[in-house]
């Protein structure tokens, strides 16, 4: 037997062992365990603000940790920092490349980042001395599009790329500190754990991987569905995976929903899952019962991005209709 054949057999054997180990943990299902609790009451959120100003499809948004400011990226070639309460534009940053796919706000509030088909992650300093917002760094090394980026601090950022890797960058030096390789398809999204020790990446190889940031290693792999273009730390597409049980707990689906999910965000307690869909709506799910408890209708095109502020007070949706809406 050739070595390749042997390795393939070994891999299959190990995969079977993982499947068996996961099955051994299934003394119940989340459905059964949650049978004793009631579905959360109907959630009716209203549009409180509409952020108008972009001239083309919005592809990404991210809240600042202050729960007031947020940044959005549009293929009109602009990053806009908004005061979500007054709806004022705090900054309108023109981009070198209009093909932007992602944006991020640093936890400190000092920096924002974006990237897309230019294969780079550009870092902007919002608090420059002369008041002008300038490019601080251009992180270039990915050989594919930048699909997502998230700051760990003002000195480190993680990016995911169509080149199948994720990278931890040193912003100061503009160099790659760690390359997270292992996905067999375009990495589409990433989410960092609240303690900044781990992140999860979702990719077009139908898997999501949990990475140890400092070790640079992949700890766990979850998989088995069509395409992972949007993930969140506790939720994956429209399935909920538990990291400690190392498996899927429940799927969020409804026979009346025929379209794809573009974006997800959990509410502060995790009890609600807000998911943006291709049919221009956001569906609100009871995370534990997997029942739909609300709908946000108001956009005139696909909801491309969604985020709940750190204090849980509001949800922001961004759409291909060029508007952002704040709901609660």
Partner 1 sequence: MSNNMAKIADARKTVEQLKLEVNIERMMVSKAAADLMAYCETHAKDDPLVTPVPSSENPFREKKLFCEIL
Which window, 43-51, 101-109, 130-138, 224-232, contacts partner 1 (CB under 8 A)?
43-51
Site string for partner 1, 308-327 (x = CB under 8 A): x--xxxxx----------x-
Nearest-CA neighbor of 271 among 38, 53, 50? 38
Which residues ranging from 3 to 42 are in contact with partner 1 (CB under 8 A)? 3-4, 7-8, 10-11, 14-15, 17-18, 21-22, 24-30, 33-34, 37, 40
Asked if 140 touches partner 1 (CB under 8 A), the answer is no
For 120, counting Cβ atoms within 10 Å of its Cβ (0-12 exposed, 13-18 middle, 19+ buried), the class is buried
Which residues ranging from 276 to 305 are in contact with partner 1 (CB under 8 A)? 287-288
Query: Which residues share a beta bridge with 209?
Result: 201, 221
Binder of partner 1 out of 56, 88, 268, 291 (CB under 8 A): 268
- Give the ranges where 121-243 is alpha helix by DSSP (H): none
Nearest residue (CB) to partner 1, 114 versus 164:
164
291-296/303-308 β-pairing: unpaired
Asked if 45 touches partner 1 (CB under 8 A), the answer is yes
Which window, 140-148, 191-199, 245-253, 256-264, contacts partner 1 (CB under 8 A)?
245-253
Binder of partner 1 out of 94, 128, 216, 270 (CB under 8 A): 270
Q: What residues contact 20, with CB distance under 8 A and at least 6 apart? A: none
Cβ atoms within 10 A of the Cβ of 243, count?
15
Number of H helices, E strands in the chain: 2, 26
Asked if 88 touches partner 1 (CB under 8 A), the answer is no
Asked if 216 touches partner 1 (CB under 8 A), the answer is no
Confirm if 313 and 69 have CB atoms less than 8 A apart. Answer: no
């Amino acid at each position: 037997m050739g070595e390749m054949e042997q390795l393939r057999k070994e891999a299959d054997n190990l995969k079977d062992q993982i499947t068996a180990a996961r099955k051994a943990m299934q003394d119940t299902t989340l459905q059964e365990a949650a049978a004793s609790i009631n579905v959360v009451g109907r959630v009716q959120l209203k549009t409180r603000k509409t952020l108008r100003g972009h001239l083309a499809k919005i592809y990404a948004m991210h809240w600042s940790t202050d729960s007031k400011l947020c940044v959005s990226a549009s293929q009109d070639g602009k990053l806009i920092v908004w005061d979500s309460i007054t709806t004022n534009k705090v900054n309108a940053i023109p981009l070198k490349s209009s093909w932007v796919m992602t944006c991020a706000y640093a936890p400190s509030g000092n920096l924002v980042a974006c990237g897309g088909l230019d294969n780079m992650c550009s870092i902007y300093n919002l608090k420059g001395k002369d008041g002008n917002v300038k490019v601080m760094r251009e992180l270039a090394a990915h050989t594919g599009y930048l699909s997502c980026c998230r700051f760990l601090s003002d000195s480190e950022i993680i990016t995911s790329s169509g080149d199948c890797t994720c990278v931890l960058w040193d912003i100061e030096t503009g160099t790659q500190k760690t390359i997270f390789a292992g996905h067999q398809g375009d990495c589409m999204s990433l989410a960092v754990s609240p303690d900044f020790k781990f992140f999860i990446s979702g990719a077009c190889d139908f898997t999501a991987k949990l990475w140890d940031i400092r070790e640079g290693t992949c700890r766990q792999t979850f998989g088995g569905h069509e395409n992972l273009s949007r993930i969140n730390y506790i939720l994956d597409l429209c399935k909920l995976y538990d990291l400690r049980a190392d498996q899927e707990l429940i799927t969020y689906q409804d026979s009346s929903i025929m379209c794809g999910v573009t974006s997800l965000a959990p509410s502060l307690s995790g009890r609600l899952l807000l998911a943006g869909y291709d049919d221009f709506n956001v569906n609100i799910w009871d995370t534990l019962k997997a029942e739909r408890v609300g709908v946000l209708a108001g956009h005139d095109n696909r909801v491309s991005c969604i985020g709940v502020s750190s204090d849980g007070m509001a949800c922001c949706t961004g759409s291909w209709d060029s508007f952002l809406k704040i709901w609660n």
